[in-house]
Structure 1
Amino acid sequence: MPADPGFGAFPYEAAPKGFAAVGAFTYPNGTTGGTGPGSQTVYVTNSDDLGNLMKRREDPDPRTFNFPPLIVYVVGTLTPGTVVTDKCDVKDVYDISIIGVGVDATLSGFGFNVVGSKNIIIRNLKIQNSPIDGITVQARNVDGTGNHLWFDHNTITNCYDGALDVTHTASYVTLSWNHFYNHNKLCLMGHSDSQTSDVTMKVSYHHNYFDSTEQRHPRVRYGKAHVYNNYYRKIGLYGVSSNDGADVLVEGNYFQNVPLPMDTSRDGSIPGDVVERNNVFVNCGPYQTRGTAFDPSVYYGYSLDDPATLPTLISSYAGSGKWDFSSTGVETPMPPGIPTLASPTNGSTGIPLSQALLWRTNYNTTGYRIQVSPDPTFVSSIIVDSTLTDTSCVVGALANSTTYYWRVRANNAVGWGAFSLPWSFQTISLPAAGVTVTPATLSFGSRLVNSSTADTVKVRSVGLLTLHIDSIRVYGGEFGATPTSATILPVGDSLRVSVTFTPT
């Protein structure tokens, strides 16, 4: 973790904040998911097992089976199968947590369809390349038919339509610590201009990372939305949009490179109310506000992180793979991922004697250590730097025609992770020394006594050594010349020679 970043230890939250924490309907303690008396645990490693398990749990109101709470742990990467093709239905179920195991739990090629369900937690999953939404959340168009839903520490990218849409009167919902990237339409709240029943919706959005996305962060119709402590980075169209009389409070967020941080109507919808306070705007366009906002503290208590800390805080900790939510007892943070070396490619030759080394990181990283050595075992390294915070390092003063090995490890609040596998490169071969002089002779022709003239000689080293010219001699008379000595850099230099003509 960077020194004194302005926030404490990893922000693991054992229970939701925001609307998902509010007691309502038949859940006086808010959203608890699969925890509670008689809780059962299942591990799944393929999409069909997950889909079949959700089907067996279906029990629409009025309930018939009264199933006990269930925790479903997702292991590895799940892809479409026979039962689950484009989506996994989480329909008419209750009291379930679906949690990714470790750092790599992924749904690839499908998403979740959460309809008419209550007391559901989905966290620590990467959802990518879904042909529909990443996660669709709907109730049954009546308040209390889909509620207490918490979506936490997920990564959602490159899905066809919405990333995480909440519509059709779903209420008491929280989206927290999610990372969205490479996506167009992010978070729709409220189905359409005609879906007036969505006025009962209540959704909190906090500590989410909207990373180089386009729109709907969220776009709200009719309901109440509390948008706080999120990080908006390099947004294409707009940040938050309030429509159809929605009631939206936007506070304590960090907007960076957002052309329109907030607006009060979109695509011809009736305007909604949006109030902003205590936000940070960096290189942003103007924003729109309107009306008054509801007071979230009427529903739940909350505190704001300093918005100036959000870029570091959220980019470090939002998304999946940052915390092992699948362990029992006290949760423990995950160590950093192993960096992936990028450039120069392994085995490269002809590398100059000063070279930038580039790498990529996978997750949960705050710093790096690089080692560069002519020894593949790194017993003796010419460069050891543990202060790096960026994914690059320039190494210089390398030896001619030498093979070097390099590797990188990452750091976070847990400590140092494992080194990457080493890569090698070979520096360029150059002669030991040499020089070229152009032109070899300067001729000044006829000149007046005690006059001076000047010309330029291009003196360039073609070897590894810095050249020093001890003296400059002038033949053909008693003439003076300046400079009398010079140092020529290896990269080449132009030497200007001035000659004064004096009588013999």
Structure 2
Amino acid sequence: MKRSTVLSLSAIAGVAVVGGALAIGLPQENASAATNVATGFASQNGGTTGGAGGAVVKATTGTQIHEALCKRAAASTPITIQVEGTINHGNTAKVSGSSCNTAAGLIELKGVSNVTIVGVGAGATFDQLGIHIRDSSNIVIQNVTIQNVKKSGSPLSNGGDAISMESTVRNVWVDHSTLVASGGESAGFDGLFDMKDDTQYVTLSYSILRNSGRGGLIGSSETDTGNSFITFHHNKYENLDSRTPLLRGGVAHMYNNHYLKLNESGINARAGAKAKVENNYFQNSKDVLGTFYTAAAGTWQTAGNVLDNVTWSAKGTEYNPAGPSMASTTTVAVPYTAVLDSAACVPSIVAATAGAGTGLKVSDGKCAVTANPTATATTSPTKAPTTSPTKAPTTSPTTAPTKAPTAAPTTSPSASASQPTGANLSLVGSADGSSKMSGTSFGYVKDGKTTTYWSPNGTTGEVSIKWGTATKVARINIVPASGSSIGAYQVVNGSTGAVLKSGTGAGVITFPATSLTKLTFKITSSTTTPKIAEFQTFAS
């Protein structure tokens, strides 16, 4: 892949070389694409740098974007195109030249390499007009909004995809962008982020995909399985019917994404696909992982995910949800090091960083936000990870995440944890459990008395609070009987089997607010027979 050397910085105002990359000072809260470094699979195969090291050109129309591409010395000459304003059909005409192959009505990156398109100033919006990448490599798209691209109705653009890649595409990084539609296929829209016909080494990071019937696909058919090595991290998928993504063959890595309101299905691994799904937060959604609408099965490795009010359908011949246990069915190795946030903080981290106009802020991997990342993508051996967190913060996967969550889920509840507020929801529920010692009762954990208690028939066991309808719980208080102690525990969503929190000891325990009909406190080890006087549950 050809790279240019910067011979003179004086020709470009506000430019500095930072860590060997070209950083361009921009007149907005966001810096240039060179401020952050491509992560995930886009960091492999030589890396993805876009137009770093080349000329910097400003564009306020689609025609000017095409002109910038066409005026280069060659189709591989590096260029960064700073876009400001609204790009639409009215200002996007075809431009001809030896270094480009453009079309009216969409931004066409066809047969080109070493290109960055970055939103600056008051922002860049591609309105009803998509970006099509074909037979191209080393492309960066950053800090842009692409909205309401249609494949039927008027006006038409890009087959209805916000961003599409096809026909031998390599090394694309889409970052801090917002891709939105206003409905599904019946309303004239298709996918938000599609890849097909030999597309590889792509990362979608810190972006928002919203209000569409289809999030995106990797492979256009069950035989189009040569698309692979795709990373999705710190993205927000909201109000989508399906395809988050649809993966046919190949390998994909999904971590630290917030999936909210997936209406029909989520990550759809098909036709031999292998999906590594770790430390994501799935919320208010249905069938978030599995093989759907086909008998050509895919596989997945799961770890560290949180399931918050996730429902699951029954299995069928062509419908195989991974839940409720979401157990791993394969192992997936990735050739890079990913520092993962704990899933519990993903909603807040993604809310602060994802999408256009957020200042290119990123996570530090410790559930905190930074505007000035210093870490660069690094590589690690391709063998599958062998170490596991002490306790998984969600459903019990059999394999480990690439790196254990920074905020370990095994720490004991702090003595200074905030006391619960509001009504004790256990008082309006019922109780059951695994076993009970003679003279104790499951119901004693919800009778409001500390003189009565439940104790298992041994040093381990579980007790549950149940409700007739879905009830949201975010905090519990385990009150041991006098003289008793609690060893290691898991707080389990009895409706799905997801582990919401792990630790040791009794007291106040918090976890992401979860709607459920059954909440289980499972004692996994204890040096003496544990005795629980009260199992209190609270909404906050």
TM-score by length of 2: 0.52
* Contact 2:304 2:342 survives alignment (8 Å): no
- State the alpha-carbon separation in 1 of the partners of residues 267 and 163 from structure 2: 19
* Contact 1:165 1:187 survives alignment (8 Å): yes
Question: Mapping of 1:41-440 within 5 angstroms?
Answer: 41-55=56-70, 65=74, 67-81=76-90, 82-83=93-94, 85-131=104-150, 132-140=160-168, 146-158=169-181, 160-198=189-227, 201-264=228-291, 266-286=292-312, 287-288=321-322, 291-296=329-334, 299-323=335-359
Deviation at 1:87, TM superposition (A): 1.8
Which residue of the partner structure matches residue 31 of structure 1?
48
Task: Give the partner amino acid of 2:300.
Answer: V
* Contact 1:102 1:323 survives alignment (8 Å): no
Deviation at 1:123, TM superposition (A): 0.6
* Contact 1:103 1:320 survives alignment (8 Å): no
Task: Give the partner amino acid of 1:315.
Answer: A
- Partner of 1:234, secondary structure, is strand
Task: Give the partner amino acid of 2:111.
Answer: D
- State the alpha-carbon separation in 1 of the partners of residues 49 and 171 from structure 2: 8
- State the alpha-carbon separation in 2 of the partners of residues 111 and 101 from structure 1: 18
- Partner of 1:197, secondary structure, is coil
Q: Write out the 4+ residue segments of structure 1 that deviate beyond 4 Å after TM superposition.
A: 10-13
- State the alpha-carbon separation in 1 of the partners of residues 67 and 161 from structure 2: 20
Task: Give the partner amino acid of 2:87.
Answer: L
1:233-288 deviations in whole A, cap 9, x for unaligned? 11111121100000111100000011111012x22250001121110000002351
* Contact 2:270 2:296 survives alignment (8 Å): yes
- Partner of 2:139, secondary structure, is strand
- State the alpha-carbon separation in 2 of the partners of residues 320 and 149 from structure 1: 17
Task: Give the partner amino acid of 1:116.
Answer: D
1:330-370 deviations in whole A, cap 9, x for unaligned? x968xxxxxxxxxxxxxxxxxxxxxxxxxxxxxxxxxxxxx
Task: Give the partner amino acid of 2:161.
Answer: D
Task: Give the partner amino acid of 2:41.
Answer: F
1:2-30 deviations in whole A, cap 9, x for unaligned? xxxxxxxx9996101100011x2xx3xx1
Which residue of the partner structure matches residue 533 of structure 2?
none
- State the alpha-carbon separation in 1 of the partners of residues 196 and 76 from structure 2: 26
- State the alpha-carbon separation in 1 of the partners of residues 371 and 224 from structure 2: 43
Residues 128, 191 of structure 1: alpha-carbon distance in 2 compared, 3 angstrom cutoff: same
* Contact 2:234 2:256 survives alignment (8 Å): yes
Deviation at 1:99, TM superposition (A): 0.1
- Partner of 1:283, secondary structure, is strand
Residues 77, 269 of structure 1: alpha-carbon distance in 2 compared, 3 angstrom cutoff: farther
Deviation at 1:47, TM superposition (A): 1.2
- Partner of 2:64, secondary structure, is helix
Deviation at 1:85, TM superposition (A): 4.2
* Contact 1:54 1:91 survives alignment (8 Å): no
Residues 272, 332 of structure 1: alpha-carbon distance in 2 compared, 3 angstrom cutoff: closer
Count residues with an aligned counterpart.
296
* Contact 1:118 1:148 survives alignment (8 Å): yes
Residues 183, 177 of structure 1: alpha-carbon distance in 2 compared, 3 angstrom cutoff: same
* Contact 2:57 2:81 survives alignment (8 Å): yes
User: Superposition RMSD on alpha carbons, in Å?
Assistant: 2.4
Instruction: List runs of 5+ in structure 1 lacking aligned partners.
Output: 1-9, 58-63, 141-145, 326-330, 334-504
Which has the larger Rg? 1
Query: Percent of pairs identical after alignment?
Result: 31
- State the alpha-carbon separation in 2 of the partners of residues 209 and 320 from structure 1: 12
Residues 291, 55 of structure 1: alpha-carbon distance in 2 compared, 3 angstrom cutoff: farther
